[in-house]
Amino acid sequence: MIKPPKPFVCLQCRLLRSQKTQRLGNAATRLFSSRGYSSYSSDRSNPNAVPISSRPPTAPKPNIDIKHIRQDPALYERNSLERNYKAQSTYPSRIIELFAQWQTRQKDGRSLRERSNALRRQIANPSSIQRENEEDGFPSRSKSKAATTTAQEDIEAMTKEQLIEEARVIKEQLSTIEDDEARLETQMAELALAIPNLTSAETPRGDEPRILSYINEHPDSVPSSSDRVWRSHVHIGSELGLLDFAGAATTSGWGWYYLLDEGAQLEQALVSYALAVVTKQGLGWRQVAPPSIVYSHIAAACGFQPRDQNGEQQVYTLGQSAADAQRGKPELCLAGTAEIPLAGMKADTVLEEADLPLKRVGVSRCYRAEAGARGVDTKGLYRVHEFTKVEMFAWTPPDADATAEVFNEMLDLQTEILQGLGLPCRVLEMPTADLGASASRKCDIEAFFPSRRNLDRGDDGWGEVTSASICTDYQTRRLATRLRPASSSGKMAYPWTVNGTALAVPRVLAALLENGWDEAEMAVAIPECLRPWMDGKDKIELKHRRKQ
């Protein structure tokens, strides 16, 4: 193919163009270095830099509604403060700052790409571009068109070597900007992930719960100063040979226990009873036997962080070998509740709207690192490191009424279980100060513990035995659990999740010992609902000293 002849350029024009080329030689470098792109990529020395959590490539990709946070930062700031998340209350404003930086990078990147495209066109076919310009004749132009024409004339004045060099410099600048854009996007996402869920309108603001109702009749007996000792489940369990804390302290440390004889039998009876109540109703609750070891990133996505707001350890993390850590093998931890593995069942999946609500009930061992400070309020079985729990979990449509229906169903089941056990309880609407990161609304049920009553310090003896929470789409967005609408024209959405304790064995067992204790007979009454699993016994009595 014969190349067209180059257009004639006189000697004077060549000299003028040579001078212009020299002026342009460092133009790109001066222009782009003045914007400081080379410094964008490293903010590690910045004390305000956002720490990036390490998630393995196999982890579900979270999708937080950052746009909503930017649109109403005051809402998220106030919400965080109401829930005692002081550090997180600053995150909305930081997200806005990072977004402004990201927009600047985007704008600068577009300018560089336009320049880069023009350089590539000139390098590929300079004569055709020049002919196009000559054919256009450059008539009267607007200001922006005139600027574009001037830039094009500058490019045409450059040699091929200069074109290639500037294209190389711009490519490096673009790479730096793109890296910086990715970093800013990651930092915004990390901040958004740490912000707690928005609080329900049903939730009382402050730190005082609202009493909703009572279950069973509260004992009217006048408290005795000896109740804290003789009505304590620790004393009762030791007298009847049901509990062994000394052996567990030697074996595992403080916060562990042995259940012996009828104590161990009671645990199995409580689990069987709770499952029977939840599943017999014909309400669609399906049983699951979940794992107790989960990936740490799955636990974090459910709202369970390794450490709490005060830096106290919450989760038991399994140690990794150096080789596994080097290979990037995902970290594992012990699940603090079956809520975590149950929520993880549908991670990275798409649910069908017609299948909702999906309701599951699972029995698992639970592991909590934060057993609490030693004291009368946490002694014995009340706060331990390991225990058995029956947990309810459900996925619902992203609708407040549909979710409230499942939530109320959980509360009804919890009430029926505790009512059958004969325990005096009260149902509370928990305040903002008591909500975890994931819960939008939370109701607790507290049982009466005679040994915990201390009227001198204003403690009337109530202690939490169950809870139920609505988490809206907090967990599903972080676990990438999506919802396909029944209508083909509908958009993909995120289902909501609800969780509730059907029965946590240690505390309920402790409440049964304290409320069923007969000092005169030295025996504990067994609730009628548990007798089928207790060989028909109606009480646990003091027998001869058991053989050690």
pLDDT (tens digit per residue) in 405-419: 999 999 999 999 999
Higher pLDDT, 6 or 189: 189
Q: How far is CA 506 from the centre of its chain?
A: 27
Residues near 76 by Cβ (< 8 Å), separated by ≥ 6?
69, 89, 91, 92, 195, 198
For the chain, percent of residues with pLDDT exceeding 70: 79
Indicate the pLDDT class of residue 119, thresholds 50, 70 and 90.
Answer: confident
Vertex 126: Cα angle to 120 and 127 (nearest 5): 155
- What distance in Å separates the CA atoms of residue 92 and residue 75, rounded to the nearest whole number? 9
Q: Which of 144-158, 232-246, 288-302 has the lowest mean pLDDT?
A: 144-158
Amino acid letter at 335? A
Strand 539-541 relative to strand 523-525, pairing: antiparallel
Tokens 């599951």 -> residue:
360
- List the strands of the sheet with 459-470, edge to edge: 210-215, 425-429, 441-454, 459-470, 496-504, 386-396, 358-367, 286-288
Instruction: Kindly state the tokens that stand for 446.
Output: 């507290």
What pLDDT score does 21 carry?
A: 40
For the stretch 485-503, pLDDT in tens is 988 777 999 999 999 999 9
Q: Does residue 42 have a pLDDT over 80?
A: no
Determine which of 168-177, 215-224, 383-392 has the lowest per-residue pLDDT on average: 215-224
Q: What is the pLDDT of residues 242-281, one digit of tens each?
A: 999 999 999 999 899 999 999 999 999 999 999 999 998 7
Can you give the pTM of this predicted structure? Answer: 0.83
Residue 444: predicted pLDDT: 98
469 strand-pairing partners: 442, 499
Range from 7-11, 267-271, 427-431 carrying the lowest mean pLDDT: 7-11
Mean residue pLDDT of the chain comes to: 84
Residues 6+ apart with CB under 8 A from 333: 293, 294, 295, 296, 299, 306, 315, 316, 317, 318
Confidence of residue 121 (pLDDT cuts 50, 70, 90): confident
- Number of neighbours of residue 21 by Cβ within 10 angstroms: 14
> Is residue 374 predicted with pLDDT exceeding 90?
no
Please state the rounded mean pLDDT for residues 321-327: 90
